[in-house]
């Protein structure tokens, strides 16, 4: 296996922090590797190299934004190096002095795989210096040859040039179904069995709560197995390929009228996704994780871009969404369900490409419509398992024998960050009253339409939606019985905020289910909820009741990638 990419020698400038931050992480040890023969770098940078890299080192020393990709990776790097060793590098001003030249080739043994990114971490050594090398598409125990292309604080990024000794228990190169796997950055795990992918995603949840929650280990339940996706390929109902604009020389030639007419797609026009480790777009004609109708629509969209490329000065991101056909307008039964934004049809599905177009999906017995450019989960096959798990968590089976009366079953549901109403509507038949809130007014209009669309399936439920900040929902549901109210939290990647948590703890819903596309911010938030709940329990208003983390697991919405959805269930108990 080989992976070669053009590299930029510059990085985005940024001011250094006033003080050198201390590191955080858990100490671990690992046996280092020596650099490949003939590529041993000097133990200390020369003055010329130091002058050239001074600006980059200031940038490297910048503290990563909390919960960003770099922050998560830094925690994993520190854990591998060991807290004491990493701090010693900081104290000696060596944390940004990589012991390897850029483009040096090294032979390494992979120590572990980053559960959050899917990249491998290896320890290389130069003299008495240890340094972590981050490499894509390699697995624990493998012997690999790499080329370093960018330095960061305590680690360097490298291209995978060759797998010298594969991990035959994990790696099976007959598994990938995409001819671009290993070159396209979209998937990391196609060479792994699906069972191994689910194990790694469980590890992501474990590490996130270890590094970011601040919760005592004895208060974190055993992480459950990752809930699988019914489909491992052909599942993705949304695709966003992109392309870069024409080169300036070509644009100038067009303006002068000197450029020849394009009869075939030029080599500089790449329509697809980023290549591994770069921001360069590579041509992708088909994506095996996308649904069939999207793959049928992709050539049409690519051809449209080519035919209109002279109109573009900059690149753009395209949109393809899998949709059920829309019914014709009332009173016009002869009208076609296809529109100008429909570029393909396949097996009862259509491909919608207009950001403002309407998309229709069926989830279980319910129908959902939303604007194509707004958020909706991108794996339809996993939505019934997701919503079913949440419902079952809210209504667990009663124990066979109990010494006290069982808690009353929830009758009211609060859906914070409700979006187009997925959880509200799917779970509404189990509740007498449902209230949802979402910041996006457009999503709220979609939620209201979806409630009306499924009115016949919600005969006994009163469902309402309002537009506003999620924290505002608690002021509107003061009449809900707290012990019989379930709260669902499904925020964006940045998680929720202190104001929401404060009002949530004060409200005191009997059951809370936190669904997250970013388990690291979820871990932070759950830690804050438990801490504030414990403090609130000591007050007269709290009455000795606090939240406990009852269960925690991942759900696989994106097979073949390192991404995992996380579901945490909290229950209010009397201590």
For residue 233, give the DSSP letter: S
Catalytic residue among 184, 187, 351, 517: 517
Do 575 and 546 meet the contact criterion of CB atoms below 8 Å apart?
yes
Query: Can you give the pLDDT at residue 3?
Result: 42
Pick the residue with more confidence: 6 or 519?
Answer: 519
Backbone angles phi, psi at 133, to 5 degrees: -115, 125
Annotated binding site for S-adenosyl-L-methionine: 377, 417, 438, 490
Cβ neighbours of 18 (radius 10 Å): 5
First to last CA, the chain: 57
How confident is residue 39, by pLDDT bands cut at 50, 70 and 90? very low
Q: Sort 222 into a burial class: Cβ within 10 Å, 0-12 / 13-18 / 19+.
A: exposed
The candidate with the shortest Cα–Cα distance to 119, out of 131, 107, 144, 137, is: 137
Query: Can you give the pLDDT at residue 25?
Result: 40
Query: Can you give the pLDDT at residue 24?
Result: 46
Average pLDDT, integer, range 213-234: 97
Query: Can you give the pLDDT at residue 528?
Result: 98
Q: For residue 37, is pLDDT > 50?
A: no
Return the half-sphere exposure (C-beta side, CA atoms, 13 A cut-off) of residue 228.
Answer: 11
Distance CA 204, CA 80 (A): 15
Ordered structural domains, the chain, with CATH: 64-171 (2.40.50.140), 201-234+379-395+408-574 (3.40.50.150), 238-327+340-363 (no CATH)
Q: Hunting for tokens 């924290």 — which residue is that?
A: 471
Query: Can you give the pLDDT at residue 87?
Result: 96
Pick the residue with more confidence: 328 or 144?
Answer: 144
Q: Hunting for tokens 């079913």 — which residue is that?
A: 388
Buried b (16+ CB within 10 A) or exposed e, 44-55: ebeeeeeeebee
**What value, to the nearest 5°, has the Cα angle with vertex 208 and ends 468 and 111?**
145
Query: Can you give the pLDDT at residue 126?
Result: 92
Tens digit of pLDDT for each residue in 259-292? 778 889 999 999 999 999 899 999 999 999 999 9
How confident is residue 334, by pLDDT bands cut at 50, 70 and 90? low
The candidate with the shortest Cα–Cα distance to 320, out of 305, 309, 307, is: 305
How confident is residue 45, by pLDDT bands cut at 50, 70 and 90? very low
Is 517 one of the catalytic residues? yes
Query: Can you give the pLDDT at residue 62?
Result: 74
Greatest Cα pair distance, the chain, in angstroms, is: 88
Average pLDDT, integer, range 4-12: 38
Query: Can you give the pLDDT at residue 339?
Result: 58
Average pLDDT, integer, range 128-149: 97
Query: Can you give the pLDDT at residue 375?
Result: 93
Average pLDDT, integer, range 295-309: 95
Q: For residue 51, is pLDDT > 60?
A: no
Q: Hunting for tokens 């050198």 — which residue is that?
A: 20
Query: Can you give the pLDDT at residue 19?
Result: 37
How confident is residue 387, by pLDDT bands cut at 50, 70 and 90? very high
- Token pair for residue 326? 């829309």
What 3-state DSSP class applies to 155?
Answer: strand
Pick the residue with more confidence: 238 or 29?
Answer: 238
Mean pLDDT estimate for the chain: 88
- Token pair for residue 108? 């390494």
Tens digit of pLDDT for each residue in 247-259? 999 988 888 888 7
Cβ-proximal residues to 503 (8 Å cutoff; 6+ apart), any chain: 471, 474
Do 267 and 282 meet the contact criterion of CB atoms below 8 Å apart?
no
Backbone angles phi, psi at 236, to 5 degrees: -75, 120
Q: For residue 2, is pLDDT > 70?
A: no
How confident is residue 66, by pLDDT bands cut at 50, 70 and 90? confident
Distance CA 307, CA 286 (A): 19
Query: Can you give the pLDDT at residue 23?
Result: 55
Average pLDDT, integer, range 462-474: 91
Query: Can you give the pLDDT at residue 331?
Result: 61
Q: For residue 158, is pLDDT > 80?
A: yes
Tens digit of pLDDT for each residue in 336-349? 555 557 889 999 99
Distance CA 403, CA 417 (A): 37
Query: Can you give the pLDDT at residue 115?
Result: 77
Average pLDDT, integer, range 403-418: 84
């Amino acid at each position: 296996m080989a992976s070669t990419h053009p590299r930029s020698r510059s990085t985005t400038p940024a001011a250094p922090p006033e003080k050198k931050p201390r590191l955080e992480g858990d100490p671990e040890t690992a046996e280092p590797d020596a650099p490949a023969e003939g590529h041993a770098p000097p133990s200390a940078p020369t003055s010329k190299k130091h002058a050239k890299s001074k600006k980059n080192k200031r940038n490297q020393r910048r503290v990563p934004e909390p919960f960003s990709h770099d922050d998560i990776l830094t925690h994993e790097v520190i854990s591998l190096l060991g807290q004491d060793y990493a701090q010693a590098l900081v104290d000696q001003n060596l944390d940004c002095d990589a012991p390897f030249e850029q483009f040096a080739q090294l032979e390494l043994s992979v120590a572990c795989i980053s559960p959050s990114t899917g990249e491998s971490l290896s320890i290389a050594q130069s003299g008495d210096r240890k340094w972590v090398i981050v490499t894509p598409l390699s697995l624990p125990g493998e012997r690999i040859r790499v080329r370093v292309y960018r330095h960061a604080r305590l680690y360097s990024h490298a291209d995978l040039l060759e797998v010298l000794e594969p991990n035959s228990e994990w790696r099976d190169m007959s598994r990938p179904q995409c001819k671009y796997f290993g070159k396209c950055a979209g998937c990391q795990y196609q060479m792994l069995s699906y069972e191994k992918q689910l194990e790694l995603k469980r590890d992501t949840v474990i590490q996130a709560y270890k590094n970011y929650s601040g919760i005592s280990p004895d208060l974190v339940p055993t992480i459950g197995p990752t809930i699988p996706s019914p489909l491992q390929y052909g599942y993705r109902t949304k695709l966003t390929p992109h392309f870069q604009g024409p080169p300036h020389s070509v644009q100038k030639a067009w303006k002068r009228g000197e450029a020849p007419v394009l009869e075939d797609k030029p080599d500089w026009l790449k329509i697809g996704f980023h290549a591994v480790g770069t921001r360069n777009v590579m041509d992708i004609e088909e994506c095996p994780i996308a649904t069939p109708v999207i793959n049928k629509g992709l050539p049409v969209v690519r051809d449209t871009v080519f035919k209109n490329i002279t109109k573009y000065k900059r690149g753009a991101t395209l949109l393809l969404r899998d949709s059920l056909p829309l019914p014709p307008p009332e009173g016009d039964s002869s009208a076609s369900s296809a529109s100008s934004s429909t570029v393909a049809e396949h097996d009862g599905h259509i491909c919608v490409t207009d950001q403002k177009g309407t998309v229709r999906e069926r989830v279980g017995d319910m129908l959902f419509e939303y604007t194509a450019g707004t958020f909706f989960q991108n794996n339809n096959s996993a939505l019934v398992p997701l919503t079913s798990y949440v419902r079952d968590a809210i209504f667990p089976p009663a124990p066979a024998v109990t010494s006290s009366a069982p808690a009353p079953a929830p009758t009211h549901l609060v859906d914070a960050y409700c979006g187009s109403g997925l959880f509200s509507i799917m779970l509404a038949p189990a509740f007498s009253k449902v209230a949802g809130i979402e910041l996006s007014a457009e999503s709220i209009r979609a939620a209201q339409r979806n409630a009306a669309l499924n009115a016949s399936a919600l005969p006994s439920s009163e469902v309402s939606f309002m537009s506003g900040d999620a924290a505002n929902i608690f002021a509107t549901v003061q009449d809900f019985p707290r012990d019989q109210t379930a709260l669902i939290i499904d925020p964006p990647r940045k998680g929720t905020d202190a104001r929401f948590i404060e009002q949530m703890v004060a409200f005191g819903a009997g059951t809370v289910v936190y669904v997250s596309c970013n388990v690291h911010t979820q871990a932070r938030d759950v830690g804050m909820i438990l801490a504030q709940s414990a403090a609130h329990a000591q007050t007269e208003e709290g009455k000795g009741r606090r939240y406990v983390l009852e269960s925690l697991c991942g759900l696989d919405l994106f097979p073949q990638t390192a991404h995992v959805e996380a579901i945490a269930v909290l229950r209010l108990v009397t201590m």
